[in-house]
Amino acid sequence: MRTEKIGKNTVVFYDSIKEMPIQRHNVMQVFLMQDSGIGSTMQAVEAHFKTLDALLVSGKVEDAIKERQNLHINFYCALENIDFKSFAFACMIDSINGKQVGITEDALKGVIDKLDGLTVGQVDDILEGLKKNCIGN
């Protein structure tokens, strides 16, 4: 485990995949795949539109339908402030101030809300460092 001070909170992270319960790992992997494949930002919406346009121009209607479905999900997530990267980050947290963190979507959203003041840069830095130890080892 690895401990970080984030604001007024003491946050304990899993530092290795060997420490992480399998259910938590599986949930984290789903969020990471959703972040990389579908996305939840307006930048990802733009990328989906470009891909959709290219598929339509090339006549790949079946692929365009799938891309439109991904675009719909991405747009919905962006509007509803659902951030897959933040949820994956939250999955890597064992506890905050000694209280265990659950892996339901509501529990993970609560983690993000509790760590008020946490910046996107901090999430990216911590997530990248932890992913090196947690993914594929």
Write a three-state SS string for 37-104.
HCCCCHHHHHHHHHHHHHHHHCCCHHHHHHHHHHHHHHHHHHHCCCCHHHHHHHHCEEEECCEECCCC
Count of the separate structural domains present in the chain? 2
What pLDDT shows up at residue 59? 95
The yes-or-no verdict on residue 75 having pLDDT over 80 is: yes
- Could you tell me the pTM of the whole model? 0.76
Residues 6+ apart with CB under 8 A from 85: 31, 32, 35, 40, 123, 124, 127
What are the structure tokens assigned to 65, written together?
Answer: 């339908």
| Average pLDDT of span 65-87 | 85
pLDDT bin (cut points 50, 70, 90) of residue 98 is: very high
Whether residue 75 is found in the same domain as residue 88: no
Q: 63-84 in b/e burial notation, b at 16+ Cβ within 10 A?
A: ebeebbebbebbbebbeeebbb
Whether residue 132 is found in the same domain as residue 89: yes
Whether residue 33 is found in the same domain as residue 87: yes
Residue 45 belongs to domain spanning: 41-80
The yes-or-no verdict on residue 132 having pLDDT over 80 is: no
